[in-house]
Amino acid sequence: SSSHPANSSEWTLDYPPLFAWFEFGLSHVARRFDPDMLDVQRLQHRSPPTVLFQRLSVVCSDLLLVFATRECCRCVREQKPSRDLLKRPSFILAVLLLWNFGLLVVDHVHFQYNGFLFGVLLLSVAKHLQSRHLQGALLFAVLLNLKHIYLYVAPAYGIYLLRSFCFTQDNTDSSVRWSSFSPARLAALGVIVTSVCVVSFGPFVLLGQLPQVLSRLFPFKRGLCHAYWAPNAWALYNVLDKTLVTLGVRLKLLQEAELPKASMTGGLVQESQHALLPSISPSVTLVCTLLSVLPAALSIWLRPRGARGFLRCLVLCALGSFLFGWHVHEKAVLMAVLPLSILAVESREDAGIFLVLATTGHYSLFPLLFTPLPIKILLMLMFTLYSFTALTSLFR
């Protein structure tokens, strides 16, 4: 807004513009609880009505996650239907998605709207599993304009839709029949994506504010790692740099005063330099990320395996971006854990991978709740215990 200086809040345009429409809708309800919470200058405002509204808004927006979970459960393939409801794959999937420990932590304790956003993602996945590809593409375009972190899985969507939707024949064969390419289907996808982007970014383009929006969406000056490191390749890289410096100083091979100050462990969101190892630039992380997801992308292009192959590629793209991306948030691991839940109830091998990834990924979220809360330990133990017992019972 032109009525507020650009530096009124560093988080004002932290999400894509379409999320502002969601916030705009919330604001009409919020002012009935406490009008003061709508003042962008009062960053530290806190009152009981504000907290109540924030909690209710998360709970209500999670209704979309419930609906998306229902749609995903309808797509589950049951090899041996069980009469016991509690042992059916669809019921287990509902529990793994709705009672996911990570979502409970980041939405209902740490406070975010990830449940609502993951609901859009899971609903988009469900539409592809139901062969409603245009609806799935529309939902993903909306999701990208709600939160741009989902660019991580965009390669899976782009390549899958191009190979399995725009080509109308031989979608199960490694050979590509170019004669079956449908320009009309490609045009339909283009219209969907363009329309959503015009609605989202159009007003900012007309007002000449697009550069400001993009600079806030892609803040490369925040540094390679988040204030709390995500457990990825760059965290190990930072540790190696620190270890080499410590050994060099103790062995008197290096003079500490002559080394550049490495500040990755300061717990701050800022640019930092490595002391001994080469510092990593955003372009390096981009190349590493693309190389990590390339095998999965080539796989669904050369050997399309339907929507399950797309889903597997989506999980691998999320993991590759988590391991090698720039300024990765710790909660980004949920982008792989939640979609993998669908595969976990259909395959013994995927179930084993899910148990390892979910357990370690959820444990890495503990520092988000930096105060000693016994409830976070209890919740994770309950979810982990259920995951192991339910999936073990399902696959014997």
**Residues 137, 23, 96, 322: is their CA dihedral positive or negative?**
positive
Q: Which two tokens stand for residue 186?
A: 């490609």
Q: Please, what's the b/e burial string for 254-290 (b: 16 or more CB within 10 A of its CB; e: otherwise)?
A: beeeeeeebebeeeeeeebbbbbeeebeeeebeebbe
Residue 296's pLDDT is 93
**Residues 162, 165, 170, 171: is their CA dihedral positive or negative?**
positive
Segment 55-78 mean pLDDT: 92
Helix (H, G, I), strand (E, B) or coil at 131: coil
Segment 349-373 mean pLDDT: 89
Task: Compute the distance between CA of residue 252 and CA of residue 323 in angstroms, rounded to an integer.
Answer: 34
Domain that holds residue 153: 17-395
Query: Do the domain assignments include residue 6?
Result: no
- Local confidence band at 105 (pLDDT 50, 70, 90 cut-offs): confident
Residue 123's pLDDT is 97
| Tally of domains in the chain | 1
Residue 4's pLDDT is 44
Query: Do the domain assignments include residue 99?
Result: yes
The answer to whether residue 1 scores a pLDDT higher than 50 is: no
End-to-end CA distance of the chain: 58
The answer to whether residue 178 scores a pLDDT higher than 90 is: no
Query: Do the domain assignments include residue 1?
Result: no
Q: Residue 320: exposed, middle, or buried by beta-carbon count in 10 A (0-12, 13-18, 19+)?
A: buried
Cβ atoms of residues 116 and 62 within 8 Å = yes
Q: Which two tokens stand for residue 36?
A: 């003061």
Q: Which of 84-88, 197-201, 249-253 has the highest mean pLDDT?
A: 197-201
Segment 365-387 mean pLDDT: 87
Q: One-letter amino acid identity for 41? A: Q
Segment 105-109 mean pLDDT: 79
Q: Which of 7-11, 148-152, 279-283 has the highest mean pLDDT?
A: 148-152
Residue 5's pLDDT is 43
> DSSP letter string over 290-317?
HHHHHHHHHHHHHS--HHHHHHHHHHHH
Task: Compute the distance between CA of residue 82 and CA of residue 23 in angstroms, rounded to an integer.
Answer: 43
Q: Which of 22-36, 173-187, 260-274 has the lowest mean pLDDT?
A: 260-274
Query: Do the domain assignments include residue 12?
Result: no
Query: Do the domain assignments include residue 11?
Result: no
Query: Do the domain assignments include residue 137?
Result: yes
Query: Do the domain assignments include residue 8?
Result: no
The answer to whether residue 237 scores a pLDDT higher than 50 is: yes
Query: Do the domain assignments include residue 2?
Result: no
- What average pLDDT does the chain have? 85
Cβ atoms of residues 326 and 220 within 8 Å = yes
Whole-structure pTM over 0.75, yes or no?
A: yes
Residue 359's pLDDT is 95
- Local confidence band at 3 (pLDDT 50, 70, 90 cut-offs): very low
Q: What is the pLDDT of residues 180-227, one digit of tens each?
A: 788 999 999 999 999 999 998 888 888 888 887 777 777 666 678 877
